[in-house]
Amino acid sequence: MNAGRTDVWDTLTRRFETSLIQAALATTRGRRIEAAQKLGIGRNTITRKIQELGIDEG
């Protein structure tokens, strides 16, 4: 039962992070450093998250 709950949590977390990063990138016209600042995270973190989440910036 906990495994199913973890899967749902992970899925929702990924969707939420993806939405936040995409919105920040849209607001900053794709400028990662500015998007990271808006989100309160570092530039290395946003780059890693973009890769992990498979976010298409194009």
Q: pLDDT (tens digit, 9 = 90+) per residue, 1-54?
A: 566 677 999 999 999 999 999 999 999 999 999 999 999 999 999 999 999 999
Segment (H or E) for 15: helix 2-27
What is the residue type of 38?
A: K
The parent domain of residue 46 ranges over 30-58
Neighbouring C-alpha atoms within 13 Å toward the C-beta of 52: 13
CB atoms within 10 A of CB 54: 8
Residue 18 within a domain: no
Question: Which pTM was predicted?
Answer: 0.85
First to last CA, the chain: 39
Is residue 45 in a domain?
A: yes
Q: Does a structural domain hold residue 22?
A: no
Number of compact structural domains in the chain: 1
Residue 17 lies in a domain: no
Look at residue 19 and tell me if it is in a domain.
Answer: no
Inside any domain, residue 40:
yes
